[in-house]
């Protein structure tokens, strides 16, 4: 099933299902008017296997927000027009102003020796490098990956977002926060929460970002 994303008051086709039943409204803490055209897409995982409605409720309670939520089934929930509202999903600074955030439902990681939550045990795991350490991260479901790529295609078409993912000279996705110089040189594209915060956030893991990077390169 396909849908549309509303960007700047216009509807743009999206190859995944889109719903608008979970909304963030202006005037609440964590949601403010958009002051610049976003040039980046910022990917997160939720660190839990909750339904999209719970993700929305949790963000509301934390005075935070995100423009899009992708649930376990790969359904996209658009919470606002990203050209109208700016949701606080990157710490409330410059990255919020220039990015559109996407929360993808997944437990993400567990502590060493711990088991994944029952609802996420069918995901499987991938090896990832995060801040130089090899760790296991939960694998996103195929329908979630398809939804991410569909959103990336739609937002890039609507806003001319560059086909870039932070990577080193060998083509490997950068697995740490961007340095001050790297952040200043960033011209837009797709990046992860791990790239924009120094607080140890690992999401959405490097495997998904590497997949997005490969997809963008293949499309030229």
Fold category of 3-218 in CATH: Lysozyme-like (3.40.80)
3-state secondary structure labels for all residues of 150-216:
HHHHHHHHHHCCCCCCCECCCCCECCCCCCHHHHHHCCCEEEEHHHHCCCCCCCCCHHHHHHHHHHH
Q: Is the pLDDT reported for residue 220 higher than 80?
A: no
d(CA 156, CA 86) in angstroms, rounded, equals 17
Show me where the domains of the chain are located: 3-218
Q: Is the pLDDT reported for residue 74 higher than 70?
A: yes
Question: How many whole angstroms from its chain centre is CA 186?
Answer: 17
Q: Is the pLDDT reported for residue 188 higher than 80?
A: yes
pLDDT score, position 92: 63
Q: Is the pLDDT reported for residue 217 higher than 70?
A: yes
Whether the Cβ atoms of residue 141 and residue 74 lie closer than 8 Å to each other:
yes
pLDDT score, position 113: 82
The sign of the torsion formed by the CA atoms of 210, 91, 12, 51 equals: positive
Give the pLDDT mean for 117-137: 92
Whether the Cβ atoms of residue 173 and residue 166 lie closer than 8 Å to each other:
yes
d(CA 168, CA 183) in angstroms, rounded, equals 14
Q: Is the pLDDT reported for residue 91 higher than 80?
A: no
pLDDT score, position 114: 87
């Amino acid at each position: 099933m396909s849908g549309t994303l509303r960007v700047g008051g216009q509807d743009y086709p999206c190859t995944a299902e889109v719903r608008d039943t979970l909304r963030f409204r202006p005037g609440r803490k964590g949601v403010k008017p958009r002051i610049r055209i976003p040039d980046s897409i910022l990917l997160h995982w939720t660190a839990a296997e909750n339904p999209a409605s719970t993700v929305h409720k949790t963000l509301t309670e934390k005075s935070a927000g995100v423009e899009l939520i992708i649930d376990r089934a790969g359904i996209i929930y658009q919470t606002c027009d990203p050209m109208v509202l700016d949701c606080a999903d990157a710490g409330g600074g410059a990255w919020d102003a220039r990015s559109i955030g996407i929360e993808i439902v997944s437990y993400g990681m567990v502590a060493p020796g711990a088991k994944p939550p029952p609802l996420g045990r069918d995901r499987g795991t991938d090896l990832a490098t995060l801040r130089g350490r090899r760790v296991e991260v939960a694998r996103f479901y195929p329908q979630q990956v398809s939804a991410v790529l569909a959103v990336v295609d739609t937002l890039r078409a609507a806003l001319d977002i560059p086909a870039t993912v932070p990577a080193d000279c060998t083509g490997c996705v950068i697995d740490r926060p961007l340095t001050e110089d790297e952040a200043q040189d960033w011209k837009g594209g797709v990046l992860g929460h791990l790239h924009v915060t120094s607080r140890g956030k690992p999401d959405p893991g490097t495997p998904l970002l590497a997949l997005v990077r490969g997809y963008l390169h293949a499309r030229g």
